[in-house]
Structure 1
Amino acid sequence: MASKTLALGAIVAVVIAALAILYITQQPKPAQTTVQTKNVYVVYDIGGRGDLSFNDMAYLGASKAAKDFGLGLKEVQSRTQDDYVPNLRAAARSGDAALIVAVGFLMTDAVKQVSQEYPNVKFAIVDGYVPDRTNVVSILYRENEGSALVGALAALTAYYFNCTKVGIVLGMEIPVLWKFEIGYAYGVRWAERYIKQKFGKDTKFDILYIYTGSFNDPAKGKQAAEVMLSQGVCVIYQAAGATGLGVFEAVAEAGRKAGKNMGPPFAIGVDADQDYIKPGFILASMMKRVDVGVYTATKMAVEGTFKGGVLELGLKEGGVSVSTLDDLSQFLEIGIKAGAVRQEDAQKIIETVREMRSKIPAWIWDAIGMLRQDIISGKEKVPLPTTQDQVVQLRKELGLGRVS
């Protein structure tokens, strides 16, 4: 009897074990957990990529950061200003944003609104001022410093070629562009003092300026430059995004009509090294390193050092500079990728720019280097207008003349 009980017990144990195995194998398997790739979102203003300037520089910084830090890159284009808030919200809701970058001053109010709605999402805005949010870093530049350098370069070059009129073509009249305008004029007036000191000559430059009201209309830029050229301006600085491409076109056309293959007349580029766009007719570019700002903000977000506030970059920090021949090859690649330059033309462009620069006397480049050091040291203080009243007063003091 005992043996039968033991046998029955063994059978029951086997059955229970089998049922247990069957139960386990029939249970749903736990979902595989995957690590979600974080993204850096770049929300462009109207105009967006392809301006060979401001927006393309933002892309350059974001793409380098994405590569270096193992992030995805998502680009969002704004067709109108009504797209700012929806675009920023969509990126914030995604849940995969390491950082959302708003490219341009005009998105300031939208960033203020959406960053408040999503306090746990990190934002950066280029040229916007949102200083009181721990989840927003405002990337600002001392464009007045870099613009002073190219203002001096414009005036000294004009003087060398027996010209006393220089100009600046700008986009929309917004506070950030006052820094370009006033900095440029300050540099021109500095050049007058330098000429007096070096050559003992009293020279007075006319400084003409015009706001086109657009960052994405090359035809307006060309028209503005043609008016200036017709009035005897021989160097024109453009601070107008894609609108400024028309300035280059007008200057190059005027030069070629005069039988020249290089300036004068000259244009001066902005934001990126644009010297390659019309080689020989672009004296230099005031480089505003939007790429450095975007890269730095992304790095802070990834490494845990992001704390909001202001990230300000000037000459001392390498945030602004005057383009050099060493910059040219790197930025030619932007033009090649955008289809604005053919790969097979690259070497010829480099040779043309080098030849053009060699025709500008060394004392001019030395003077620009001296001004740069004096600004960094604080010996020269370039005005920084922040209000309408200030810019109006500075225009009067510096003697700027608006082109009608």
Structure 2
Amino acid sequence: MLGVMAIGTIAWGLAGLTSLACPPYVPPYRPPCAPPALSACWPCEEPAFFELTDLRVIPERPIRGEAATIRCTVTNTGQGSGSQEIVLLIDEGKHDSRPLPLAPDESQTVSFSYVFPHAGEYNVKVASDDDADETTVDVRFVETRCPGEADPFAPPETIVHLRPRTAVVFDPLGRGDVGWNDLVAHGLQYMPEEIGEIAVYYSSHAADMDSIATMLAEGEDFDLIVYVGWLYVDALDYIARDFPQQRFAVIGAWWTEAPNVMAIDFRNDEGAALAGALAALVAAEYEYDRVGAIAGFENLYFWAAEAGYRFGVHWANQWYEDAFGSDPNVHVSYVYTGGLADAERSHDEAIKQLEEGAGVLFGFCPREDAAGIQSALSEWAKAYEITSAPPYYLGFDAYADWLFAGRFSLGSVVARVDAACYAALRSIVEDSFAAGTTWMGLAEGGVALSTEEDLLRELVFAVDAGLADVSDYQETIDNWIRNRESIPDWVWQAVAELRCQIIAGVVALPVPETYEEMERIRAEYP
């Protein structure tokens, strides 16, 4: 009897709670829905639970500066309905959010849009009150055209002279030089119809140059005669005066004063600035404090490249400090061999710079010297059992990319002689021919860092000339691509920023005209 009375008292007490003051509610505790009497104090409600799954970033490797879509599936796996804020976090910082109501067992896909401002890795997280899903995204950099950058192969804007006749004369190295002649010949195959008829001439040795130039001018058959290479400048200086009605163009020279000659040359200092920035940033990434460079003679031509290279290294040091908060303090080792095509001397100078701690070497020199430098890199890698990572090589003209099966190459500064030839031919069609010096830099598409397309074309030239083995073709491509892809995207993004700054005139490169000016540049940009 006593037991029955106790049970009844407990039951009455629970029921009586409805008439008593409710105890305080302390989140997140909520009593279960039984017994029903407690609903008078706290509403009886089964909890919702928002579970997040299937987080995806589209595209999987977004491009810096372009919008990416971030999607995640949200499912209410609880027993009750609910509404929660779904939050997008980028590197743990809140970027966007939206409310989402869901009934039990209901699912919805939530989408966000985000523009990743820089190349590199990001942590992407989508979170509810109950759960989160996250992933790491590798944002890549894809180079695009800068504002103010011209398309060097754009069709003629106006057609004043339809289908003119042009003669193109190669220098004595002729086809198979795996250089300027081959590149111009390749470009001539793709000239638009408006450019007209093109006749090609070859000089077998330097003594032929005067006679060929005179023969073509005397014939009066051509609206324009184009000479590839600076070797023709001296002959043109007096031949052009003998034939004042004939228009001439010479590619790769700036020092002619003939009134009917268009001299087209390249802003190699701008290309060298990109090489310097790339070299310094790669060195900083791999904790080197020095980059090297090897050139031929001390003259205005090579000084311009040295000044550009030094400026690029200086710019990269500042960029790195602004981005990461520390100055890598990369310095330059720059040497002149006093000659050209001296592979042994270039090899020895390269070894010295490697011993000084250079992580990247820039060869502003012919193919023979480039081969000497890369042979030094090969010996160094073998001695220290280096299979990847620095030291790397940057060359001048794309032929440097395929040497030693591309094992050490990050690319080259390319003079686009095919674009220069097209510019001369287009000037006749548009009636815009102008005597004097025409400079082609980054803005005009006259210089650039080499691309995979450049490598493939030059590799074909090298195989055809018997300088590279066809069996090494794929290995060379694979090595070159591996080297480029091993460099973080933020490096390529930084180099692209400098490129656009040069084109926009935001930065001005130092241009030495005397030895004293070059010495001041060396002191300012050590």
Question: Would you call these one fold, judging by a TM-score over 0.5?
Answer: yes
Match of 1:254 in 2: 380
Unaligned runs of 5+ in 2: 1-163
Match of 1:331 in 2: 458
Distance 1:301 1:213, change over 3 A: farther
How far apart are residue 246 of structure 1 and its match? 2.2
- CA–CA distance in structure 2, aligned partners of residues 180 and 74 of structure 1: 31
259-268 or 310-319, which moves further after superposition? 259-268
Match of 1:296 in 2: 423
How far apart are residue 105 of structure 1 and its match? 4.2
Q: Please tell me whether the aligned partners of residues 167 and 235 of structure 1 are also in contact (alpha carbons under 8 angstroms).
A: yes
Give the aligned residue type for 2:201.
Answer: K
Greater Rg over alpha carbons, structure: 2
Give the aligned residue type for 1:343.
Answer: V
Is the strand fraction higher in 1 or 2? 2
Q: What is the CA deviation profile of residues 202-225 of structure 1, one whole-angstrom value per residue up to 9, with x for unaligned ones?
A: 332231222233343333332332
How far apart are residue 322 of structure 1 and its match? 1.3
- Which residue, out of 209, 223, 232, partners 2:348? 223
Q: Please tell me whether the aligned partners of residues 280 and 313 of structure 2 are also in contact (alpha carbons under 8 angstroms).
A: yes
- Which residue, out of 493, 496, 500, partners 1:366? 493
TM-score in terms of structure 1 length: 0.78
- Which residue, out of 148, 158, 169, partners 1:42? 169
- CA–CA distance in structure 2, aligned partners of residues 229 and 209 of structure 1: 12
How far apart are residue 368 of structure 1 and its match? 0.8
Higher relative contact order (CA 8 A, sep 6+): 1
Q: How many residues align?
A: 360
381-390 or 180-189, which moves further after superposition? 381-390
Q: Please tell me whether the aligned partners of residues 237 and 257 of structure 2 are also in contact (alpha carbons under 8 angstroms).
A: no
- CA–CA distance in structure 1, aligned partners of residues 517 and 314 of structure 2: 18
Give the aligned residue type for 1:185.
Answer: R
Q: What is the CA deviation profile of residues 239-295 of structure 1, one whole-angstrom value per residue up to 9, with x for unaligned ones?
A: 112333322232233223333344411110212363222313011211111121023
Q: Secondary structure at the match of 1:390?
A: helix
Q: Secondary structure at the match of 1:71?
A: strand
- CA–CA distance in structure 2, aligned partners of residues 117 and 220 of structure 1: 43
Distance 1:122 1:389, change over 3 A: farther
Q: Please tell me whether the aligned partners of residues 272 and 308 of structure 2 are also in contact (alpha carbons under 8 angstroms).
A: yes
Give the aligned residue type for 1:218.
Answer: A
Match of 1:178 in 2: 303
- CA–CA distance in structure 2, aligned partners of residues 134 and 261 of structure 1: 55
**What fraction of aligned residue pairs are identical, expressed as a percent?**
32
- CA–CA distance in structure 1, aligned partners of residues 514 and 209 of structure 2: 25
Q: Please tell me whether the aligned partners of residues 237 and 256 of structure 2 are also in contact (alpha carbons under 8 angstroms).
A: no
- CA–CA distance in structure 1, aligned partners of residues 308 and 387 of structure 2: 30
Give the aligned residue type for 1:346.
Answer: Y
Q: What is the CA deviation profile of residues 222-247 of structure 1, one whole-angstrom value per residue up to 9, with x for unaligned ones?
A: 23323322332221111112333322
Match of 1:314 in 2: 441
How far apart are residue 62 of structure 1 and its match? 5.2
232-241 or 211-220, which moves further after superposition? 211-220
How far apart are residue 39 of structure 1 and its match? 5.9
Distance 1:131 1:111, change over 3 A: closer
Match of 2:249 in 1: 124
How far apart are residue 56 of structure 1 and its match? 3.9
- Which residue, out of 312, 331, 343, partners 1:206? 331
- CA–CA distance in structure 2, aligned partners of residues 114 and 337 of structure 1: 35
How far apart are residue 65 of structure 1 and its match? 5.2
Residue 258 of structure 2 is aligned to residue 141 of structure 1: no
- CA–CA distance in structure 2, aligned partners of residues 108 and 144 of structure 1: 22
- Which residue, out of 269, 281, 289, partners 1:164? 289
- CA–CA distance in structure 1, aligned partners of residues 258 and 355 of structure 2: 49
Q: Secondary structure at the match of 1:209?
A: strand
Paired residues for 1:44-59 under 5 Å = 44=171, 50-59=176-185
Q: What is the CA deviation profile of residues 311-337 of structure 1, one whole-angstrom value per residue up to 9, with x for unaligned ones?
A: 221111211111223433233222222
Q: Secondary structure at the match of 1:283?
A: strand
Distance 1:391 1:276, change over 3 A: same
Q: Please tell me whether the aligned partners of residues 127 and 176 of structure 1 are also in contact (alpha carbons under 8 angstroms).
A: no
- CA–CA distance in structure 1, aligned partners of residues 435 and 264 of structure 2: 10
Residue 483 of structure 2 is aligned to residue 347 of structure 1: no
Residue 397 of structure 2 is aligned to residue 271 of structure 1: yes
Q: Secondary structure at the match of 1:386?
A: coil
Q: Secondary structure at the match of 2:403?
A: coil
- Which residue, out of 411, 415, 418, partners 1:284? 411
TM-score in terms of structure 2 length: 0.61
Is the helix fraction higher in 1 or 2? 1
Q: Please tell me whether the aligned partners of residues 54 and 272 of structure 1 are also in contact (alpha carbons under 8 angstroms).
A: no
Q: Secondary structure at the match of 1:158?
A: helix
Give the aligned residue type for 1:173.
Answer: E
Give the aligned residue type for 1:177.
Answer: F
- CA–CA distance in structure 2, aligned partners of residues 227 and 94 of structure 1: 55
- CA–CA distance in structure 1, aligned partners of residues 205 and 337 of structure 2: 21
Q: What is the CA deviation profile of residues 60-79 of structure 1, one whole-angstrom value per residue up to 9, with x for unaligned ones?
A: 44565599743221122445
- CA–CA distance in structure 1, aligned partners of residues 391 and 402 of structure 2: 16
Distance 1:70 1:105, change over 3 A: closer
Match of 1:245 in 2: 371
Residue 285 of structure 2 is aligned to residue 153 of structure 1: no
Q: Please tell me whether the aligned partners of residues 260 and 435 of structure 2 are also in contact (alpha carbons under 8 angstroms).
A: yes
